[in-house]
Homo-oligomer: A and B are copies of this chain.
């Protein structure tokens, strides 16, 4: 027991590499320049993480040696890496995931349709939705019970959280509807010039 668990950053890397084989530099740019910027992007995080993934056999890096090219190590997902990614994407939704702001769940979602297909993605969204519903119920009952005794800023901070989760809840509805539509009329689900990820 206690085999070195893959970090969230590791899974983010796995997911991006699955979308498109990439070098460490490519991945750093994605974290630095896109909406995925909440993850590191520093070389001291990315390169060791890639080494770890490679030593676990989840990715494999090949040095590109074209003429007049800078050396760069292009990483591809191995089949073991693919199944590790799918296992992570298929994990049941814990309420702890919701409590921590649901960022990891959103990350999973953004890789999910490519790896598991639209049906699994819709199922995931439905589970996400009911987890949010349960969590919201708790927050709202807490608020209604304690609002009178709470300091104003505490009450407002809690209300901000509630609004945020309610917004996410509405979003899951919207996302499910959108997915259903795209299934019945699947014209151009992915564009050819797709560069991957949630930029």
Which chain B positions have C-beta within 8 A of A161? 35, 106
Are the CB atoms of B191 and A148 closer together than 8 Å? yes
Complex: A17 Cα to B164 Cα, angstroms: 27
A38 on interface, CB distance cutoff 8 Å = yes
Which of A121, A154, A171 has the most CB atoms of chain B within a 10 A radius of its CB?
A154
Are the CB atoms of A194 and B151 closer together than 8 Å? yes
Interface residue tally for chain A (C-beta within 8 Å): 54
- 10 residue pairs from A and B, CB less than 8 Å apart: A106-B160, A110-B156, A113-B152, A150-B199, A151-B189, A154-B199, A159-B174, A164-B167, A164-B168, A166-B167
Chain A residues numbered 109-157 whose CB sits less than 8 Å from any CB in chain B:
109-114, 121, 139, 142, 146, 148-157
Given contacts A103-B101, A171-B160, contact A189 B149 (CB under 8 A): no
Say whether chain A's binding surface is mostly helix, strand, loop, or mixed. helix
Are the CB atoms of A149 and B103 closer together than 8 Å? no
Which chain B positions have C-beta within 8 A of A79? none
Complex: A90 Cα to B190 Cα, angstroms: 46
